[in-house]
């Protein structure tokens, strides 16, 4: 089944064109990386898919329904924004943060019950965080906050997990662990994942498909195809020389051998 279908999408914000002629088809259970420079429209695309932004023209379907209709249902999307370090004085426990993910199912005017708490603990356990359930969220490390935030996103039992540059502020080793974690979640729950990132070199070993976005798609397809110099030039322009470093070249060669 198609999780997401986008046809000739155009989005304007304050009269300025942000996305132009976007077309995409993504099967359920696939992991899509959306890569491109800062300001290229990645966050706008994610917000359009989730129904938070109305297109100027074109059409989006999420499991065959309009995004606004899906958004009201509260049980399709799990969302993880860019990571920002929370103050140690933030007065909420880890378990309370994760239980916030249940509101889409129980309703904003209802308090989560014991069943919701058990579900939240289940996903904390999946993330290896159950022992920290009563710790103040603000006292967690950046990586721990990230894992707790994923548990919150999963607590609503979504069909689609949306991640907007979730590895911001995480060191390289932490990023690799994070991508392994996402791949495991994809396989375990058959969840569809959309992840936006500016770092094309880091995610190509983990996603099933990649879309290169800078106001419009410059490439869609297998990850190895995105590591082409002409694609990178179209995507990043004069900054492409900064990207064609040893790390990307090694990833490209490794992917070609798969």
Which tens digits make up the pLDDT trace of 132-161? 999 999 999 888 888 899 999 999 999 999
Q: What gap in Å lies between CA 156 and CA 158, rounded to an integer?
A: 6
Give the integer Cα–Cα distance in Å for 215 and 11. 9
Q: Note the pLDDT of residue 83.
A: 66
- Give mean pLDDT, residues 50-58: 95
Kindly state the helix (H) or strand (E) to which residue 18 belongs, with its residue range. strand 16-27
pLDDT score for 255: 46
List the one residue out of 74, 33, 27 whose CA is nearest residue 50.
74
**70: exposed, middle or buried (Cβ count in 10 Å: 0-12, 13-18, 19+):** buried
pLDDT of residue 244: 47
Rounded mean pLDDT, 39-66:
95
Poorest-confidence range of 35-49, 58-72, 144-158, 160-174?
A: 160-174
- Please give the pLDDT value at position 72: 80
Q: For residue range 71-128, list pLDDT tens digits in order.
A: 887 779 998 877 666 777 778 999 999 998 888 777 666 677 889 999 999 999 999 9
pLDDT of 252 > 70? The answer is no
* Greater pLDDT, 233 or 25: 25
pLDDT (0 to 100) of residue 256: 45
CATH class of 2-76+160-257: alpha beta
Instruction: Quote the pLDDT of residue 222.
Output: 93
Q: Give the single-character DSSP code of 87.
A: P
Q: Where are the domains of the chain?
A: 2-76+160-257, 85-157
């Amino acid at each position: 089944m198609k999780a997401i279908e986008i046809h000739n999408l155009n989005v304007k914000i304050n009269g300025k064109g942000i996305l132009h002629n976007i077309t995409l088809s993504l099967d359920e259970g696939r992991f899509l990386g959306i890569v491109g420079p800062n300001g290229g429209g990645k966050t706008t695309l994610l917000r359009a898919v989730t129904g938070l932004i109305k297109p100027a023209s074109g059409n989006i379907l999420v499991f065959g329904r309009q995004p606004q209709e899906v958004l009201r249902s509260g049980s399709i999307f799990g969302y993880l924004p860019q990571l920002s370090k929370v103050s140690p004085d933030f007065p909420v426990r880890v378990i309370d943060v994760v239980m916030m993910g249940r509101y889409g199912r129980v309703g904003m005017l209802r308090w989560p019950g014991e069943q919701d708490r058990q579900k939240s603990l289940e996903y904390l356990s999946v993330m290896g965080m159950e022992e920290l359930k009563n710790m103040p969220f603000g006292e967690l490390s950046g990586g721990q906050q990230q894992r707790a935030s994923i548990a919150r996103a999963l607590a609503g039992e979504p069909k689609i997990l949306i991640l907007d540059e979730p590895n911001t502020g995480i060191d390289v080793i932490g990023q690799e662990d994070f991508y392994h974690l996402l791949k495991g979640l994809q396989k375990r729950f058959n969840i569809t994942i959309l992840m936006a990132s500016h770092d094309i070199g880091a995610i190509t070993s983990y996603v099933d498909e990649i879309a290169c976005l800078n106001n419009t798609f410059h490439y869609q397809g297998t990850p190895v195809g995105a590591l082409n110099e002409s694609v990178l030039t179209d995507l990043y322009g004069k900054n492409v020389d900064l990207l064609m470093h040893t790390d990307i070249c090694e990833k490209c060669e490794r992917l070609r051998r798969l």
